[in-house]
Amino acid sequence: MFEAVIFDWDGTLADTLPIIVFLFQKVLQRAGCNVSDGFLLKRIGIGARNMFKDALKSSNITFDETKIDELMEEKTKMQLEVLDKIQLFEGAFKLLNLLRPKVKLALATMSNREIVDKLLTMKNLEKYFDFIITADEVSKLKPDPEVFLMCALKLGCQPEKCVVIEDSVFGVAAAKKANMKCIAIPSGAYSKADLKKESPDLIVDSLKETQKILDFILYDSKIL
């Protein structure tokens, strides 16, 4: 049995990807930058700052950190106005309720603190997590393992006693680098085939596969 479960947010617990892509496109277009939705989808998980930088580079638009700060501020302001449109994936509440009494829970997301805190309050989710780490608290973003290792430290658990639940190839790679087990879910921008390349320990179709997830976390994962 593992001691802690670390959840990703965007594309894992919450169906945020369509809104995120829409907001990025609006901000980028105002900056004279044109990229495809697919370009953005394949970068969700590396953090908004890096997504903006990659997009601007692809259009040969020069920028500095001040410019990125401005784009980030604009995106955050717009995102705060549409938080009510974000829904949790089916099965999320059930899984959290079943895990809460048995293991420690953390949230490790590349979204910013202001957005995450307001969303958790709106969805009445704060009570489920022992600790929450956002992009604002780390110096290196996924696929670097810093965010997961920080979670383990804050939770007082050894990395090998933690399970990460992720939807992106960057998140799975970060979990494996942290020496943690990882459950991958193709609920975001990546297919099962994409995720499998990063060698997660278990792949499920959705959070609705509650029993399969619980068996891996709470019982003998070797049988899976």
Lookup result for tokens 């956002």:
134
- Say how far apart CA 109 and CA 67 lie, in whole Å: 23
Residue 199 to residue 201: CA distance in whole angstroms: 6
H helix or E strand, kind and range, residue 41: helix 37-41
In this predicted structure, what is the pLDDT of residue 188? 87
Entry pTM: 0.92
pLDDT surpassing 70 at residue 221: no
- How is domain 4-16+87-223 classified at the CATH fold level? Rossmann fold (3.40.50)
**Matching fold, domains 4-16+87-223 and 17-83:** no
Residue 166 in this model has a pLDDT that exceeds 70: yes
Domain boundaries, the chain: 4-16+87-223, 17-83
Say how far apart CA 147 and CA 100 lie, in whole Å: 21
The pair of structure tokens assigned to 145 is 């393992």
Q: Exposed, middle or buried by CB within 10 Å (0-12, 13-18, 19+), for 81?
A: exposed
| CA torsion, ordered 154, 157, 162, 166, to nearest 10 deg | 0
Quick: pLDDT tens for 92-148.
Answer: 999 999 999 999 999 999 999 999 999 999 999 999 999 999 999 999 989 999 999
* CA dist., res. 76 & res. 18, Å (int): 15
Identify the CATH number of the domain defined by range 17-83: 1.10.150.240
Gap between the Cα atoms of 181 and 202, Å rounded: 9
Mean pLDDT estimate for the chain: 94
- Residue 36 in this model has a pLDDT that exceeds 70: yes
* Whether the predicted pLDDT of 224 surpasses 80: no
CA distance 223 to 212: 11
Kindly report which listed range (61-70, 89-98, 110-119, 212-221) carries the lowest average pLDDT score: 212-221
Tokens of 37: 């939705």
Predicted confidence (pLDDT) at residue 223 exceeds the cutoff of 50:
no
Quickly state the pLDDT bin for 48 (edges 50, 70, 90): very high
What pLDDT score was predicted for residue 220? 58
pLDDT of residue 42: 87
pLDDT in tens, 6-19: 999 999 999 999 99
Q: CA 27, 65, 79 angle in degrees (round to 5)?
A: 30
Helix axes 17-30, 48-58, angle to 10 degrees: 50
**Which residues carry out catalysis?**
8
